[in-house]
């Protein structure tokens, strides 16, 4: 049985619709081992994948109370479930800086103590066909022997143009009549003037003084040159965030159209399939919940490579992975 667990109710429809899998809307910190164990089919290889919210581990973690923020402890909860379930394979994805925190060291130490062979490293998603510069810590662990990621699959990264260059042109505040997710947020008159003054790969420092935001004139704002920026056709996109549909939130301006990228374009740059459904057909599209799902997602291309790595590993040690061994580790 395939199943996913998340607190966000907006995830239910896309998870079940696109993955033909069960969605459990619940806090994993409150789930018992037996409850999670019931989601696995008897006699099958157990793979447990987890991804604690990345915000506490990011370079902006100074904004978070790491002692009381419940998100901080979710990696410990993941370790608790691993210890109780003893799945054959464990995998986790997070921001690169998770490796700087003691909770990550504790998690790896627990895996080793449980008898897992562990591998972890920071990988560049663009080297695996994701049209985006996104560095992520990936961890793989197995009870059945050494495991690691397959080697990079792409010598040349996919570009923004290769990913979204053929989508229907739209204007700011407009949606495509054939794909309601291909919808761009509106722009104020000042932001419209700003994007018209922007070149692909350029910065707000090239604008006329009348367009520069007051916050960028302060010393604290000078270190954020990519905000209000346009992407470049010939390069991968920047890292997609939960606010990637907003022109002022990063280099999320379309390379040539005077607007921010659409939700569909953001999803494609996260390597979601072109026809992936995020919202029920009869419901309106809301930027914030859809943007949150897109930005928080493990890029589909990276997930596919992780799955291939696990499959390669299990195929190589199939003599040691037997139903009897599986049942004894339940």
Q: What distance in Å separates the CA atoms of residue 221 and residue 216, rounded to the nearest whole number?
A: 4
| Catalytic residue set | 54
- How close are the terminal C-alpha atoms of the chain, in Å? 15
């Amino acid at each position: 049985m395939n199943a996913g667990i998340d607190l966000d109710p907006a995830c239910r429809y896309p998870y079940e619709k696109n993955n033909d899998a069960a969605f459990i809307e619940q806090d994993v910190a409150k789930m018992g081992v037996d409850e999670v164990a019931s989601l696995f089919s008897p006699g099958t290889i157990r793979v447990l994948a987890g991804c604690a919210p990345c915000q506490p581990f990011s370079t902006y973690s100074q904004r978070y109370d790491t002692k009381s923020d419940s998100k901080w402890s979710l990696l410990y909860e993941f370790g608790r479930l691993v210890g109780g379930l003893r799945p054959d394979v464990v995998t986790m994805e997070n921001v690169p800086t998770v490796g700087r925190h003691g909770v990550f060291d504790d998690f790896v130490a627990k895996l080793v103590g449980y008898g897992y062979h562990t591998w972890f490293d920071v990988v560049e998603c663009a080297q695996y066909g994701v049209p985006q510069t996104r560095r992520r810590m990936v961890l793989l662990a197995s009870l059945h022997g050494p495991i690691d990621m397959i080697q990079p699959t792409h010598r040349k990264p996919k570009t923004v143009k290769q990913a979204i260059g053929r989508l229907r042109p739209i204007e700011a505040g407009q949606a495509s009549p054939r794909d309601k997710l291909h919808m761009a947020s509106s722009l104020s008159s000042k932001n419209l003037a700003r994007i018209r003054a922007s070149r692909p790969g350029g910065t707000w420092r090239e604008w006329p003084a009348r367009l520069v935001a007051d916050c960028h004139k302060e010393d604290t704002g000078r270190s954020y040159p990519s905000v209000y920026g346009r992407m470049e056709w010939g390069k991968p996109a920047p890292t997609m965030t939960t606010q990637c549909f907003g022109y002022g939130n990063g280099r999320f301006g379309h390379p040539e159209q005077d607007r921010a990228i659409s939700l569909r374009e953001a999803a494609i740059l996260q390597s979601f399939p072109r026809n992936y459904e995020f919202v029920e057909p009869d419901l309106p599209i809301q930027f914030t919940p859809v943007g949150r799902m897109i930005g928080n997602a493990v890029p589909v291309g990276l997930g596919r490579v992780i799955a291939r790595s696990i499959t390669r590993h299990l195929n190589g040690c199939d003599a040691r992975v037997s139903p009897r061994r599986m049942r004894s580790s339940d």
